[in-house]
A and B are shown apart, each in its own frame.
Chain A
Amino acid sequence: DIQMTQSPSSLSASVGDRVTITCRASQSISTFLHWYQQKPGRVPDLLIFAASTLQSGVPSRFSGTGSGTDFTLTISSLQPEDFATYYCQQTYNTPLSTFGQGTKLEIK
Chain B
Amino acid sequence: EVQLVESGGGVVRPGGSLRLSCAASGITFEDYGMSWVRQAPGKGLEWVSGINWNGGSTGYVDSVKGRFTISRDNAKNSLYLQMNSLRAEDTALYYCVRENEGIAPGVFDLWGQGTMVTVSS
- Hey, which bits of chain A sit against chain B, CB under 8 A? 1, 32, 34, 36, 38, 43-44, 46, 49-50, 53, 55, 85, 87, 89, 91, 93-102
Report chain B residues within 8 Å CB of A97.
35, 47, 50, 59, 106
Interface class of chain A by DSSP: loop
- Nearest 4 A-B pairs (CB), nearest first? A91-B106, A95-B50, A43-B111, A102-B44
Interface class of chain B by DSSP: strand
Query: Which stretch, B8-16, B17-25, B75-83, B97-105, touches the partner chain A?
Result: B97-105
- Hey, which bits of chain B sit against chain A, CB under 8 A? 33, 35, 37, 44-47, 49-52, 57-59, 61-62, 95, 99, 103-109, 111-114
User: Looking across the interface, which residue of chain B has its beta carbon closest to that of A51?
Assistant: B104
A-B contact count (CB 8 A): 79
- Determine whether the beta carbon of A94 is less than 8 Å from that of B46: no
Q: How far is the CB of B95 from chain A (nearest CB, A)?
A: 7
- Determine whether the beta carbon of A95 is less than 8 Å from that of B104: no
